[in-house]
Amino acid sequence: MAAQEKNMQEIEKAKKLNHVPWGEEYEKMISGMLYDSWTRDLTAARFKARAFANKYNTWFPPASTDPATGFDVLAAERAKMLKEVIGHLGDDIFIEPPFNIDYGCNISIGDRFFANFNLTILDCSLVTIGARCMFGPNVSIFAATHETEVQSRRDNIEYGRPVVVGDDCWIGGNVVILPGVTIGRGVGGGCDRFVVVDRGGRKQQGLARLQYHYQQGPAKNVWRAQAI
C-alpha cells in the first residue's frame, strides 16, 4: 500500500545525493506515495539515465590502446561515466555492462563494489548499497511497484519502496530484490532467488539470516552467516 504523506527522512537522505530532479512528484516518489511518473522533470531524468546506459554499455577503448593498460583505461572511463549519473558513488567501483537504471540519482553505492554483467536497478525509491558488496550476473533490484487496482495503472500512477543492501554482502546471480527489502550486513546467498522480506545482519539476532522465495515453491531459509 502506498504511503499517505511525505517521508521526511527519505527526503533528507536524498539531499545528500547528486543529480536529483527536485520537485513535488519526485518527493512523493521517494516517499512511497502515489505519484505521476510522466512529469517533465522525471521524464527528463529518465532520458538522461537512458543516454548514460547507451554510452556506458557500448563504450570501449580504441583499438590503438595498449592491451597492457587497456583494462585500467576501461575502468577509469566507466567510473567517470558513473559519477555523472549515480547519486552517490564510493571509491573502487566496477560494474560490468550492460547496466540499466531508471534514474541513477537515487542510487548510493559504498566503496569497493563489484557487479557482474546485467545489473538492473529500478531506483524509483532510494536504493542504498553498502561497502564491499559483490553482485553476480543478472541481479535485479526493483524499488518500483504499482497498485493492484487497474485504474491507477491505466492512469500511469505508481509508487516505490526503498531497498537497502548492507555492507559486505554477496548477492548471487539471477537474484531479484523486491521493493521495501532490507538485507543486513554480511549476508550472502545463492542464485535464482526472489528476496521478498527483510533479512540478515540485525544486531539483536546475532546471526544473519537470509530468506528467499524460490521461483517455484514456498519460501525457506537457505543460508546462515556468522555474526560480524
The arithmetic mean of pLDDT across residues 47-74, rounded, is 93
Is the pLDDT confidence value at 213 over 60? no
Sheet holding 99-101, edge to edge: 99-101, 119-122, 140-142, 176-177, 193-195, 208-214, 219-225
Strand pairing of 140-142 and 176-177?
parallel
Complete DSSP assignment for 26-65: HHHHHTTB-EETTSHHHHHHHHHHHHHHHHHTT----TTS
Polymer length in residues for the chain? 228
Note the pLDDT tens digit of each residue in 139-191. Answer: 999 999 999 889 888 888 999 999 999 999 999 999 999 999 999 899 887 77
The answer for residues whose C-beta is within 8 angstroms of residue 6's C-beta and 6 or more apart is 27, 28, 31, 33
Is the pLDDT confidence value at 205 over 80? no
Strand pairing of 140-142 and 119-122?
parallel
The arithmetic mean of pLDDT across residues 99-113, rounded, is 99
The arithmetic mean of pLDDT across residues 54-79, rounded, is 92
Question: What is the structure's pLDDT at 197?
Answer: 63
Cell 516518489, residue located? 29
**Burial category of 152 from C-beta neighbours within 10 Å (exposed 0-12, middle 13-18, buried 19 and up):** middle
Architecture of domain 8-225 in this structure: 3 Solenoid (2.160)
Number of H helices, E strands in the chain: 5, 20
- Our CA angle for 117, 93, 226, nearest 5°, is 85
Of 35-44, 80-89, 216-225, the range with the lowest mean pLDDT is 216-225
**Residues 165 and 134 sit within 8 Å (Cβ to Cβ):** no
164: cell is: 537497502
Question: What is the structure's pLDDT at 210?
Answer: 40
The arithmetic mean of pLDDT across residues 7-22, rounded, is 98
- If pLDDT is split at 50, 70 and 90, which confidence band does 198 have? low
The arithmetic mean of pLDDT across residues 190-210, rounded, is 51
pTM: 0.86
Question: What is the structure's pLDDT at 191?
Answer: 72
Is the pLDDT confidence value at 201 over 80? no
| Residues designated as active site | 146
Q: Which residue has the higher pLDDT, 150 or 119?
A: 119
